[in-house]
Amino acid sequence: VDTYLAVDIGGTGIRVAIFPEEGTQALAIKRISTRGAGTPLERFYALLNEMWPVNDHVRALGVAAAGPLDTRAGIIYSTPNIPGWINLPLQSMLEERHHVPVILGNDANLAAVGEWKYGAGRDHKDLVYLTISTGIGGGVILNNELMLGSRGLAAELGHIVVDPSGPTCSCGLRGHLEAMASGTAIGKRAAEQLAAGRKSILAKDPPPTAKDVSIAAYQGDALAVEVLTKAATILGKTLADFAHIFNPSIFILGGGVTQAGPIWFDAVNAALKTGVYDPGYLIDLKVVQAELKDNAGLLGALALARQLAHK
């Protein structure tokens, strides 16, 4: 039987899954921690050996990895929490080791591909995907093609300036969308307001998370509503900018912050509606939650592997 292997390399764990010729139901899936005996690469190789189908044919292998990488060159420039993986030519390394076609993709890009092929973006050929959790990542499909850019670094939608004098981002630069609208930003903003003496049902210690803020917002806490709404409004205004640039027919929003419910979602939509300079952008435009949750990257890697095998 023909099979495909999909790999998801995250900051803390590596998942390998075997998929059949069709469909999105894995035949087998296993996750290991990147930390433990041996280097992360040795641990990854051991997991691949263990999972590699003995009796079935593997047509292609797709790899989703966090961090900047070049899909065309097959090189991981760097990946969070695996310090040794700098300019790692993982595609050729895996091709030489397993003698099957291999393709790499940035995890947020591949989550976009996963949603486009198998999730909320089916039947759309122009979509913008954003994951809003501790950070903000993105992926853009235009005219049924993943937008990569000249070195594969395109669609870093979290690292665009929304306020030049805003807080410092995880990347070190100031005022990025991620520093203003991510889950981390929501928690930090609430903590700052508490430290400044604002009244709230939120506890100062331990510092509130985005989830704490959203729970408090639904209990009617004014500070929590304000912080959540502000982050959502900044995101919605930025979606309007993305509409001006990409003119998608759907925005797909994934990540933990999207669980924050209607207070957050309504503010996103309201800011998007008032943020576009022409109502034409809003015609038939959908804003939806992602469908594939934690499997989006893995299923995007599967989609690329299938595409590669059918080329």
Amino acid at 68: P
Q: How far apart are CA 160 and CA 162, in angstroms?
A: 6
94 vs 169, which CB is nearer to Zn ion? 169
Subset of residues 80 to 139 that bind Zn ion, contact rule: CB under 5 A: none
Kindly list the distances between the CA atom of residue 41 and the CA atoms of 16, 36, 45, 98, 177, in Å, as whole numbers in the listed order.
Answer: 13, 11, 6, 15, 33
Q: Give min distance, CB of 177 to Zn ion, in A.
A: 8
- The yes or no reply on residue 169 touching Zn ion (CB under 5 A) is yes
Position among 46, 171, 195, 203 found at the interface with Zn ion (CB under 5 A): 171
- C-alpha span between 194 and 242 (Å, rounded): 33
Question: At 128, which helix (H) or strand (E)?
Answer: strand 127-132
- By rule CB under 5 A, what string of x and - marks binding of each residue 143-162 to Zn ion? ----------------x---
By beta-carbon proximity to Zn ion, the closer residue of 182 and 193 is 182
What is the total residue count of the chain?
311
Closest CA to 141 of 120, 167, 162, 159: 120
Side chain identity at 230, as an amino acid letter? K
Residue closest to 117 by CA, chosen among 298, 309, 311, 247: 298
**Choices 12-20, 45-53, 166-174, 297-305 (CB under 5 A): range interacting with Zn ion:** 166-174
> Judged by CB under 5 A, which stretch of 47-55, 91-99, 173-181, 262-270 contacts Zn ion?
173-181
- Token pair of 277 as six digits: 């300079």
Q: Is 176 in the site for Zn ion (CB under 5 A)?
A: yes
Size of the site for Zn ion (CB under 5 A): 4
- Closest CB to Zn ion: residue number: 169
Output the smallest distance, CB 152 to Zn ion, in A: 18
Taking the least distance from each CB to Zn ion, the nearer of 68 and 89 is 68
Interacting residues toward Zn ion by CB under 5 A? 159, 169, 171, 176
